[in-house]
Amino acid sequence: MQQTKTQQGTITNSALSGYLETWLESFLIDRKAQNFAPGTLAFYRKKLRLLADFCEGQVVGQVDQITPDVIRRWLLHLEDTGHNPGGIHACYRALRAFLRWYWEETDQEGNPPTTKVKAPRVAIDPLEPVSLENVSLMVKTCVFDLLGCRDRAALLGLLDTGARAAEFVALDLNDVDLTTGAVLIRSGKGRKPRNVFLGQTTRRALRAYLKLRQDDNPALWLADKGERLTYWGLREMVERRAHKAGILTPTLHSFRRAFALEMLRAGVDVFAIQELMGHADLQVLRRYLRQVDDDLRAAHVKGSPVERMKKGR
């Protein structure tokens, strides 16, 4: 009887028999055993659940029944059921990772069927950042009490570090060097630590907040009742400050976008920005570069010597 090796040991093919649901669960166990981040595990589980549900409706119960045609029909189904291009592309990536793993795990001959199905195209539209003017308006609503100082420091810190919101609220006091401004992101995407930095203005705001704290909690950002500030608490704070400033509420991720765009506009090297933001490649930054190109185009329209010469005649 042929046997197959998995992370759980050696299991006979009569027990597994290529059942899709079984192998999907084994794939997730493998990712967890490799210490993938909880967010990555949740990503795979959510996207592959969509695949499993579709296959069940198509009476596709085994992995070797996932043909290029099935994959294409699944991608079209995702589009028909309201998934946006980015979400469909994410589903394709999850399926590709699963099938590559399955092919290696079971010593399959040839290539996985995803090699015959091109990844869905995703429009590379510019990503909208929060404007510096709106950040300034929100900061001006912060009075100099404990929560006001916290909110001021947090708003400036989000913009100054370019950190993801989940990374930001996970910071501890010991992760910040108020002398140099260095901030250690321990829980970066893919569990990769990196350093980001705070400028003098943000450090001054953070010192004012920490000076008013009278607790021994190791967390950098605390909620009203003294526990660690959560992602949702941070979002509620931004919403409250935006309401007081009379502006539309920016998303937490729009602070990260503003960081990238303003650094590019300032002429900072793209590879340095990539490291600061914890990106594996430059694909996302290219979307911001398009906006910088638009800035240059607008500047040329405004100051074109030839056009100004024509107007002077």
pLDDT over 90 (residue 72): yes
The reply to whether 254 and 289 lie within a common domain is yes
Lowest average pLDDT, out of 6-15, 181-190, 253-262, goes to 6-15
> Are 22 and 28 in contact, with CB atoms under 8 Å apart?
no
Please say if the pLDDT value at position 301 is more than 50: yes
Asked if residue 265 belongs to a domain, the reply is: yes
Are residues 85 and 156 located together in one domain of the fold? Answer: no
Does residue 64 have a pLDDT over 50?
yes
Q: What is the rounded average pLDDT of the residues 264-283?
A: 85
Rounded CA separation 202/196 (Å): 13
Q: Are 159 and 200 contained in the same domain? A: yes
- Among residues 55, 88, 116, the one where a domain terminates is 116
- Could you give the percent of the chain with pLDDT greater than 70? 89
pLDDT at 289 over 80: no
Residues 148-190: tens digit of each pLDDT:
999 999 999 999 999 999 999 999 999 999 999 999 998 766 6
Q: Do the domain assignments include residue 122?
A: no
223 belongs to a structural domain:
yes
Residue 15's contacts (CB-CB under 8 Å, 6 or more residues apart) are none
The confidence band for 304, taking pLDDT boundaries of 50, 70 and 90, is: confident
87 and 153: one domain? no
63 shares a domain with 175? no
60-70: b (≥16 Cβ within 10 Å) or e: beebeebeeeb
Are 224 and 100 members of one domain? no
Which of 40-44, 50-54, 166-170, 299-303 has the weakest average pLDDT? 299-303
Mean pLDDT of the chain: 87
Judged against a pLDDT cut of 80, whether residue 312 lies above it is answered with no
Q: CA 65, CA 95: separation in Å to the nearest integer?
A: 14
Question: Residue 92 and residue 164: Cα distance in Å, rounded?
Answer: 24
Is 13's pLDDT higher than 60?
A: no
The number of distinct structural domains making up the chain is 2
Whether 141 and 235 map to the same domain: the answer is yes
Residue 254 scores a pLDDT above 90: yes
23 CB neighbour count, 10 Å cutoff:
22
pTM above 0.85, yes or no: no
* Predicted local confidence at residue 128, as pLDDT: 81
**Helix pair 132-139, 146-161: axis angle to 10 deg:** 160
Q: Looking at the domain assignment, is residue 82 inside a domain?
A: yes
d(CA 154, CA 234): 9
Q: How far is it, in rounded angstroms, from Cα 311 to Cα 239? A: 46
pLDDT given at position 5 = 43
Which of these three, 116, 145, 180, is where a domain ends? 116
What pLDDT sits at residue 123? 65
Q: What span, in angstroms and rounded, lies between the C-alpha atoms of 189 and 278?
A: 7
pLDDT(7) > 60:
no
- Alpha-carbon distance 95 to 242, whole Å? 39
Residue 247 has pLDDT above 60, yes or no: yes
CB 16, CB 61: distance < 8 Å? no
Please compute the mean of the pLDDT values over residues 236-255 and round it to a whole number.
96
Residue 41 belongs to a domain = yes
If you ran DSSP here, which 8-state letter would residue 114 be given?
G
- Residue 10 above 50 pLDDT? no
Tokens 């995803």: give the residue. 114
Looking at the structure, tell me whether residues 180 and 204 fall in a common domain. Answer: yes
Give the pLDDT confidence score for residue 297 in this predicted structure: 75
pLDDT exceeds cutoff 50 at 14: no
| Strands of 201-300, DSSP E | none
Give Cβ neighbours of residue 255 (< 8 Å, ≥ 6 apart). 129, 130, 135, 158, 159, 162
Residue 8 pLDDT class (50, 70, 90 cuts): very low
What's the domain range around 58?
A: 3-116
Q: 51: closest CA among 31, 33, 73?
A: 73
* CATH number where 144 lies: 1.10.443.10
The residue among 73, 91, 116 that closes a domain is 116
Kindly state whether residues 111 and 244 are assigned to the same domain. no
